[in-house]
């Protein structure tokens, strides 16, 4: 598996080696020793599976207590996946990274604890799987508004279109108003 750093070095893109023939393909999506050697902390304690229609935007979510590291991949369709560094002491505080993840490119994105995370569905339908390093804690969950102008997230939303967003996400706060990590 090739593990590469992004412009925010703690966020990594993982490209598995794919073995294919006329029968289909095989790939490893997780190997603890390779992940640990690259600085991806475990253990993972929860697996999540999300299905969404085109135009759905989920995020930007994080947990203020029990922050989650997330290993994200797409098994059906395509999404734009975004991570925002919300660690005040970080040199990349307030910076965002976005990447296309799809069933076709088979990439994964490692988002460490201390980041807000969200995604936008590009294809007609997408199914997203992610492993988390902490359990979901609804009382600790926080939301930063997806379109905070200070974050410069390059959501690939077509001009004149509006994403479909949950009530919880619409009520998200600006980064400047949010409870964040030191």
CA angle, corner 174, sides to 173 and 180, nearest 5? 85
Find out whether the peptide bond into 43 is cis, omega within 30 degrees of 0: yes
3-state secondary structure of 167: helix
User: What is d(CA 71, CA 147) in angstroms, rounded to the nearest whole number?
Assistant: 23
The active-site residue, picked from 61, 62, 117, 120, is: 61
Annotated active-site residue 66? The verdict is: no
Q: How many alpha carbons fall within 13 Å on the CB side of residue 39?
A: 12
What are the C-alpha distances in Å from 52 to residues 77, 152, 166?
Answer: 10, 24, 12
Per the document, the length of the chain is 182
From the list 17, 34, 44, the residue with the least C-alpha distance to 113 is 44
Annotated active-site residue 62? The verdict is: no
The active-site residue, picked from 120, 130, 135, 136, is: 130
User: What is d(CA 93, CA 58) in angstroms, rounded to the nearest whole number?
Assistant: 21
Where in the sequence numbering do the catalytic residues fall?
61, 130
């Amino acid at each position: 598996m090739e593990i590469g750093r992004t412009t925010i070095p703690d966020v990594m893109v993982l490209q598995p080696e794919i073995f294919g023939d006329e029968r289909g393909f095989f790939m490893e999506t997780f190997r603890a020793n390779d992940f640990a050697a690259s600085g991806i902390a475990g253990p993972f304690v929860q697996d999540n599976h999300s299905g969404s229609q085109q135009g759905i935007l989920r995020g930007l979510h994080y947990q203020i207590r029990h922050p989650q590291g997330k290993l994200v991949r797409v098994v059906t369709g395509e999404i734009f996946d975004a991570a925002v560094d919300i660690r005040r002491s970080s040199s990349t505080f307030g910076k965002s990274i976005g990447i296309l993840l799809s069933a076709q490119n088979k990439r994964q994105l490692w988002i460490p604890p201390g980041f807000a995370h969200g995604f936008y569905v590009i294809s007609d339908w997408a199914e997203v799987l992610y492993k988390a390093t902490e359990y979901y804690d609804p009382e600790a969950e926080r939301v930063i508004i997806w379109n905070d102008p200070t974050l410069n997230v390059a959501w690939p939303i077509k001009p004149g279109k509006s994403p479909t967003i949950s009530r919880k996400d619409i009520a998200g706060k600006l980064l400047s108003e949010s409870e964040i990590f030191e």
